[in-house]
């Protein structure tokens, strides 16, 4: 059976049983509690909550959809037989229409009669299996589902009782939730039926919903693989041809790596088709990580073929009927741009990685920060990195954030201000202005040229003041351009990081320093951008700075004037 046949079969089955056909919502969720759409029910939250009426909007209390979904929680599992980041979810829903009996009968009929499959066993919710103290322990045993399955002829041992795995919690912090019954065929979970009876608040308090609802989800890829008797989702027709392309590009490449490439190529294509662009924040950052991992593998496994253009052409052929948007969008140029941005830094990072015989989580974080090397790739590639635990790596992340935020202990190096008489809000403001000063210097050099050199700088909680060498007054256009450039970098939300180097080595990196200042043997070089190699700004500096440029806010130049012969002075504010 092809994916298209299964999609049609599913839709027709529920349509002929009074369900309105609702198109997939965007992968980029408009629900503020999640970044990406992870389940079919998300677009229907308002109907479960009674905020809107399905009857008014769809002409029915029941709906059916095929939802584009993306789950980062499964990213580490990708490469096995059944996990994917992007997948299609078949689902039927009811908002105060039918409940457990109909939902279970529909699923049973669809699987056994339409697809001719045999149910191995099912699971149902039992609070006895929930650990003490857990908020879900107060939910009663799902006796109703139990007896419906018995009615359908399942013997008691095939109706397994489970705990929290059979309670669907809301994606994000709060939302509709309730007990579930999961259906297993050939040992694989193919369908999850959720009975939304409650609303979980962000403090995990349960309230009864006015009208109970049904939310079911069946991963198309898994169900189709099971239907076709495949042991691996990558054998179905929406994945196999893509995997075959990867194989052609690099015969003999490890199967797990091939699957990761196919999965990430497919996932990023769908995200880009939805209008998402790689960036350093939120959903854009998820996309960036996928693309970076692909590029890292290209370098690591010496893949010279243009994997992005080959894959996008193949993906468009696979999905043109079901998702015509994939044809119209600019998938390939976006991927290519991202590759150009990270390729050289990643290559250098790999060389650097090869030098380590032993490695700590802090080293791994340094390589990640400096060259953008993905953590998983380092682990796979370097015996020295193999045993570094993800938690330790993440702890380094946190530490770094703290370092960037200190503020309290450190002097505002070079700016003549100490923190003693400042409150937290002022310190915060000064840090933002401080990072803005670095960007201002970089922007001036960008627009006016390298003759711009720092002459002095002073920051108060109200404004920054920056003196620099330049032999004439700046035009309004030049000032505007600098301002636009600085705000552009702010919007890109780049990380702000530093490395510590011996002074002579630091000077060789091309980082800017202040000639008048005397520096110690070891200096901190603050850099802003995707990596040290590709930094937008590099300066000797004691810090502290904000963690990301996005924290600065909008930058505005308020004044430009002379500060002596060949010296100009700019005052700027953030708002
Ligand atoms: N929301 C449930 C799931 O994602 C059922 O659709 O599994």
Please tell me the residue having the least CA distance from ligand 1 atom 3: 217
The pLDDT assigned to 105 comes to: 98
pLDDT in tens, 289-338: 899 999 999 998 999 999 999 999 999 999 999 998 888 778 999 999 99
Mean of pLDDT values over 215-223: 98
Which residues have C-beta atoms less than 6 Å from ligand 1?
39-41, 91, 168, 192, 194, 215-217
Residue 429 has pLDDT above 70, yes or no: yes
Residue 28 gets which letter from DSSP? Answer: B
Which distant-in-sequence residues (6+ apart) come within 8 Å of 402 by Cβ?
Answer: none
The 3-state DSSP class for residue 210 equals strand
The pLDDT assigned to 457 comes to: 86
Residues linked to residue 64 through DSSP beta bridges, in sequence order: 21, 92
Mean of pLDDT values over 174-180: 91
- Calculate how far, in angstroms, residue 9's C-alpha sits from the geometric centre of ligand 1: 20
Spatial distance between the Cα atoms of 184 and 193, rounded to a whole number of angstroms: 12
Residues linked to residue 446 through DSSP beta bridges, in sequence order: none
pLDDT in tens, 348-398: 899 999 999 999 999 998 888 778 888 988 998 899 999 999 889 988 877
For 73, counting Cβ atoms within 10 Å of its Cβ (0-12 exposed, 13-18 middle, 19+ buried), the class is: exposed
Residues linked to residue 537 through DSSP beta bridges, in sequence order: 528
Please tell me the residue having the least CA distance from ligand 1 atom 2: 217
Token pair listed for 54: 């399905």
339 torsion bin: left (phi>0), alpha (psi -120 to 50), beta (else): alpha
The pLDDT assigned to 415 comes to: 37
With vertex at residue 537, the alpha carbon angle to CA 531 and CA 539, rounded to the nearest 5 degrees, is 105
Residue 183 has pLDDT above 70, yes or no: yes
The pLDDT assigned to 408 comes to: 29
- Calculate how far, in angstroms, residue 93's C-alpha sits from the geometric centre of ligand 1: 10
What is the number of the ligand 1 atom nearest to the C-alpha of 217? 6
What is the number of the ligand 1 atom nearest to the C-alpha of 69? 4
pLDDT in tens, 106-154: 999 999 999 999 999 999 999 999 998 888 999 999 999 999 999 999 9
pLDDT in tens, 38-75: 999 999 999 998 899 999 999 999 999 999 999 988 88
The pLDDT assigned to 166 comes to: 97
Phi and psi (nearest 5°) for 267?
-60, -45
The pLDDT assigned to 411 comes to: 33
Residues linked to residue 188 through DSSP beta bridges, in sequence order: 185
Phi and psi (nearest 5°) for 389?
-85, 145
**Hey, which of 14, 29, 40 would you mutate to test ligand 1's pocket, going by the most ligand atoms within 8 Å of its Cβ?**
40
């Amino acid at each position: 059976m092809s994916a298209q046949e299964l999609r049609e079969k599913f839709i027709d089955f529920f349509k002929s049983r009074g369900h309105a056909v609702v198109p997939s919502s965007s992968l980029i969720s408009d629900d503020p509690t999640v970044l990406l759409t992870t389940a079919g029910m998300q677009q229907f939250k308002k109907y479960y909550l009674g905020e809107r009426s399905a009857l008014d909007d769809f002409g029915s209390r029941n709906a059916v959809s095929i939802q584009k979904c993306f789950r980062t929680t499964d990213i580490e599992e990708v490469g096995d037989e059944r996990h994917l980041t992007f997948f299609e979810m078949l689902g039927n829903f009811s908002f105060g229409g039918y409940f457990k009996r109909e939902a279970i009968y529909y699923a049973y009929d669809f699987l056994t009669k339409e697809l001719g499959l045999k149910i191995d066993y099912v699971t149902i919710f039992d609070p006895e299996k929930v650990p003490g103290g857990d908020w879900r322990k107060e939910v009663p045993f799902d006796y109703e589902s139990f007896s419906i399955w018995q009615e359908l002829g399942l013997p008691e041992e095939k109706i397994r009782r489970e705990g929290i795995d059979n309670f669907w919690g809301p994606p994000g912090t709060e939302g509709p939730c309730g007990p579930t019954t999961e259906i297993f065929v050939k040992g694989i979970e193919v369908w999850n039926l959720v009975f939304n009876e409650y609303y979980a608040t962000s403090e995990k308090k349960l309230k009864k919903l006015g009208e109970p609802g049904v939310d079911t989800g069946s991963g198309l890829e898994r169900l189709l693989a099971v239907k076709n008797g495949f042991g691996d989702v990558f054998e179905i027709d929406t994945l196999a041809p893509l995997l075959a392309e990867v194989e052609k590009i690099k015969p003999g490449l490890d199967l797990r790596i091939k699957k990761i490439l196919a999965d990430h190529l497919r996932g990023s294509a769908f995200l880009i088709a939805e209008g998402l662009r790689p960036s350093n924040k939120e959903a854009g950052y998820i996309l960036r990580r996928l693309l970076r991992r692909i590029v890292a593998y290209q370098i690591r496994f010496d893949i010279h073929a243009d994997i992005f253009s080959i894959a996008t052409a193949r993906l468009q052929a696979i999905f043109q009927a079901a998702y015509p948007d994939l044809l119209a969008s600019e998938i390939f140029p976006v991927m290519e741009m991202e590759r150009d941005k990270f390729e050289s830094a990643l290559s250098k990072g790999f060389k650097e990685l090869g030098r380590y015989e032993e490695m700590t989580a802090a080293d791994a974080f340094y390589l990640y920060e400096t060259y953008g090397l993905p953590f998983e790739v380092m682990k796979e590639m370097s015996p020295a990195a193999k045993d570094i635990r993800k938690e330790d790596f993440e702890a380094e992340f946190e530490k770094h954030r703290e370092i960037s935020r200190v503020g309290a202990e450190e002097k505002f190096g070079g700016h003549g201000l100490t923190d003693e008489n400042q409150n937290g809000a002022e310190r915060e403001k000064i840090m933002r202005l401080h990072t803005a000063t670095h960007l201002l210097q970089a922007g001036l050099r960008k627009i006016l040229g390298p003759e711009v050199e720092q002459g002095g700088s002073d920051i108060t909680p109200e404004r920054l003041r920056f003196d620099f060498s330049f032999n004439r007054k700046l035009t309004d256009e030049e000032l505007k351009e600098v301002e636009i450039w600085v705000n552009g970098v702010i919007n890109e939300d780049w990380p702000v990081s530093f490395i510590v180097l011996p002074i002579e080595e630091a000077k060789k990196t091309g980082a800017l320093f202040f000639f008048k200042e005397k520096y110690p043997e070891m200096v901190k070089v603050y850099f802003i951008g995707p990596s040290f190699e590709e930094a937008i700004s590099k300066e000797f500096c004691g810090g502290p700075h904000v963690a990301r440029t996005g924290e600065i806010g909008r930058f505005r130049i308020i004044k430009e004037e002379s500060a002596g012969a060949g010296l100009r002075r700019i005052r700027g504010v953030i708002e």
